[in-house]
C-alpha cells in the first residue's frame, strides 16, 4: 500500500518538475507578476496533487492541469483583484527564457508585448496566451478555458485586433500570430 502511494508521489513529482517552466510561463502571462504566477502554479499543483490518481490516469494530464490553472485564475479575477502585468520595478523578477522556436520571443521588445497583453480583458488575454504563446489548438484552448471553440476564436481575434491597433506592435503581432 505504501509502495503505491510512493509511486504516485514520484509520478507527481516527475510531472511537476517536467512541467514547472511551462506552467510558470503561462501563469506569468496570465497574472503579469512573478509572485502571483508562482502562487497560481503552486495553488494549481496543490489541487492537482490531491486528485493525482485521477489526473495521472487522464488521457492528457497537462490539459487537466492547465484547466485547473485557468479556473483558479478566473476565480481570482471574478473577485475583482487587480492584476499588474509589469511591476514598476522589475529588478526582482526572474525573466522568462523563451523556448527555442518561440516566434513571440523574436519580437524586438518583449516588454512592450507584455504591457500590451496587460491591456486586454482577461478572457481575451487567456485566449491569446493559450493560442499564440502556448500554441494550443482552438479545441485545446476551449477545453482549458471551459468554453466553446467559437468563444476562443472570438476572444483570440478580438485580442489580436487590439494588439495590432497598438502602434509599434502591429508588425510583431502580424509576424508572430496566425492568419
pLDDT bin (cut points 50, 70, 90) of residue 107 is: very low
Instruction: Please spell the DSSP secondary structure of 8-67, one letter per residue.
Output: HHHHHHHHHHHHHHHHHHHHHHHHSSHHHHHHHHHHHHHHHHHTHHHHHTSS-HHHHHHH
Q: What is the mean pLDDT of residues 2-20?
A: 86
Query: Would you say residue 178 has pLDDT above 50?
Result: no
Query: Would you say residue 155 has pLDDT above 90?
Result: yes
Which range is most confident: 2-11, 76-85, 106-115? Answer: 2-11
| Burial readout 6-16 (b: 16 or more C-beta within 10 A, e: otherwise) | eeeeeebeebb
Query: Would you say residue 151 has pLDDT above 70?
Result: yes
**What's residue 55's pLDDT?**
85
**What's residue 46's pLDDT?**
92
pTM of the model: 0.61
Query: Would you say residue 92 has pLDDT above 60?
Result: no
**What's residue 170's pLDDT?**
60
Compare 44 and 107 and report the one with higher pLDDT. Answer: 44
Which range is most confident: 51-55, 68-72, 130-134, 153-157? Answer: 153-157
Between CA 81 and CA 86, with CA 84 as vertex, the angle to 5 degrees is 165
d(CA 86, CA 71): 22
**What's residue 114's pLDDT?**
80
Block residue for cell numbers 508562482 = 38
Amino acid at each position: 500500500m505504501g509502495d503505491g502511494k510512493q509511486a504516485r508521489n514520484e509520478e507527481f513529482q516527475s510531472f511537476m518538475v517536467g512541467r514547472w517552466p511551462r506552467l510558470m510561463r503561462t501563469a506569468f502571462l496570465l497574472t503579469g507578476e512573478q509572485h502571483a504566477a508562482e502562487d497560481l502554479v503552486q495553488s494549481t499543483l496543490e489541487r492537482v496533487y490531491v486528485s493525482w490518481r485521477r489526473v495521472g490516469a487522464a488521457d492528457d494530464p497537462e490539459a487537466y492541469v492547465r484547466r485547473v490553472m485557468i479556473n483558479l485564475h478566473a476565480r481570482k479575477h471574478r473577485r475583482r483583484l487587480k492584476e499588474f502585468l509589469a511591476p514598476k520595478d522589475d529588478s526582482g523578477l526572474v525573466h522568462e527564457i523563451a523556448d527555442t522556436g518561440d516566434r513571440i520571443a523574436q519580437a524586438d521588445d518583449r516588454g512592450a508585448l507584455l504591457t500590451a497583453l496587460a491591456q486586454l480583458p482577461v478572457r481575451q488575454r487567456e485566449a491569446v496566451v493559450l493560442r499564440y504563446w502556448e500554441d494550443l489548438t482552438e479545441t485545446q484552448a476551449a477545453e482549458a478555458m471551459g468554453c466553446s471553440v467559437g468563444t476562443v476564436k472570438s476572444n483570440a481575434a478580438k485580442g489580436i485586433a487590439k494588439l495590432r491597433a497598438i502602434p509599434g506592435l502591429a508588425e510583431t503581432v502580424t509576424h508572430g500570430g496566425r492568419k
